[in-house]
Each structure stands twice: as structure tokens, then as C-alpha cells.
Amino acid sequence: MTTIDAVVLISGRGSNLAALLAAADAGELGARIVGVIANRPGAAGLQTAAARGIATDVVDHRRFAERALFDAALAEAIDVFAPRLVILAGFMRILGEAFVEHYQGRLLNIHPSLLPAFPGLDTHRRALDAGVRLHGCTVHFVTPTLDHGPVIIQAAVPVLDDDDEATLAARVLAQEHRIYPLAVRWFAEGRLRLDDGRVRLAATQRGDSALIAPAIDER
């Protein structure tokens, strides 16, 4: 398999980064993570990367008076690696239009909801408040609108009666760690195509499965 170079942007914990690295180790990512960049010096994921000998950088948003200046510095730091793909993995800054356009078609994000439901923050609490029975996560191409853009893959999980934010978040996160490496691999393999703003995936797709919630054990 040919591999592409990818840069991952993080703000914190970096569990999605860790999942991507694990997939790379298993030879299942189709991409080499050549750099990890954080907007916070204390982002724990930086240590995950450094421990593996991956180049890291910090572009601290607090050093920039204007968003556009931060975006430009971030793009400069990314382009040092000349990546084919830029992966937002828990990157908590809004990126401006010029930045997004610079990486158009090669900038991915993961969001912890079934978009277009619950863009923005506190998705798990909002899903609980709304009383939905299905929640989940979405990998999408980034467009200038926040948490918006052509959807590549989604995973749905049931919301259980006794869920709280933490239990629901954990169930969703486990699925994030499954679907993000898959999306990156499809991109690396050239199987994703944008057709009039809609994602087309060159893969056999099954239409015979559904996640129904609540699924009741009727014994």
C-alpha cells in the first residue's frame, strides 16, 4: 500500500491521535503521521507523539492578537511537513475561511455527534437534554462553516436511560477511535471523492443493517 504523509492537529488529551497511531502501527492507516501540532503547550497528546519520535510543534493561539494571524502561523507550521492530509483530532479552535480553503479537500475533522445534529460544544449533554435515542460521531471534510461539511462516515450508539454525560461520551469515543482511522485509510487509498459536495466512497456498501434504539432484550 502506498502511504501518504499526514499532520494531526490537537488541543488536548489526544486519544484519537493514539487510535490513529495504533492503526498506523497495525499497517491499517495508509498514512504516516509525520507531525503533530497543538495550539496548547500542555496538550497531553504532544507527549504521545514525542514518545514515538514524531515531530511536534506548538502554535499557541494566545500569542496572536487576531485569528487570521494564528491561522497563518498554523498553516506555516503544517506546511513544513508538506502533508497530503491534515487531520483535526480534538482541535478546539475555529479555523478561518482562508485556512480552510488552503487545505480544501484534504482537511478532515471528527465531531462527537451525528451531524448535522449538535454542532459545537457539549454535544453529549445536549443529546441527553434533547432525549435522542441515537447519538454518535461523524468524520467529515472541513468547510468554512463550523462542524459542517461533507460527511465521510458516522457511527451511531444508543442512548441508554441511565446514561450521564460521561457514560455516553465514553460510548461515543470508542466509536470515534474506530471510524477515524477508517476514514483516513479511505482517503489515503484514494477511495473518497467529492461529487457536488457529496462524498462518494469506492467500496461495497451494505444497506441491510440498522442500529435501532432502544434495542430491548425481550426474553
15 binds ligand GRF (CB under 6 A): yes
2 neighbors 84 (Cβ within 8 angstroms) = no
90 binds ligand GRF (CB under 6 A): yes
113 binds ligand GRF (CB under 6 A): no
Q: Which residue among 61, 102, 111, 124 is the active-site one?
A: 111
Q: Which of 9, 20, 110, 142 is the binder for ligand GRF (CB under 6 A)?
A: 110
181 binds ligand GRF (CB under 6 A): no
Q: Which of 7, 9, 16, 81 is the binder for ligand GRF (CB under 6 A)?
A: 16
Please say which residue, 69 or 121, places its beta carbon nearer to ligand GRF. Answer: 121
142 neighbors 109 (Cβ within 8 angstroms) = yes
35 binds ligand GRF (CB under 6 A): no
48 neighbors 57 (Cβ within 8 angstroms) = no
Q: What residue has cell string 471510524?
A: 179
The neighbouring-strand residues paired with 155 are: 137
Q: What residue has cell string 455516553?
A: 168
30 binds ligand GRF (CB under 6 A): no
Question: How far apart (Å, rounded) are the C-alpha atoms in residues 209 and 85?
Answer: 31
Q: Which of 30, 35, 83, 112 is the binder for ligand GRF (CB under 6 A)?
A: 112
111 binds ligand GRF (CB under 6 A): yes
13 binds ligand GRF (CB under 6 A): yes
Q: Is 111 a catalytic residue?
A: yes
Instruction: Enumerate residues 6+ apart whose C-beta is below 8 A from 74.
Output: 9, 37, 39, 59, 95, 99
Instruction: Enumerate residues 6+ apart whose C-beta is below 8 A from 184.
Output: 6, 20, 23, 29, 30, 31, 85, 87, 108
Q: Which stretch binds ligand GRF (CB under 6 A): 7-15, 50-58, 75-83, 190-198?
A: 7-15
Contacts to ligand GRF by CB under 6 A:
10, 12-16, 89-90, 110-112, 173, 176
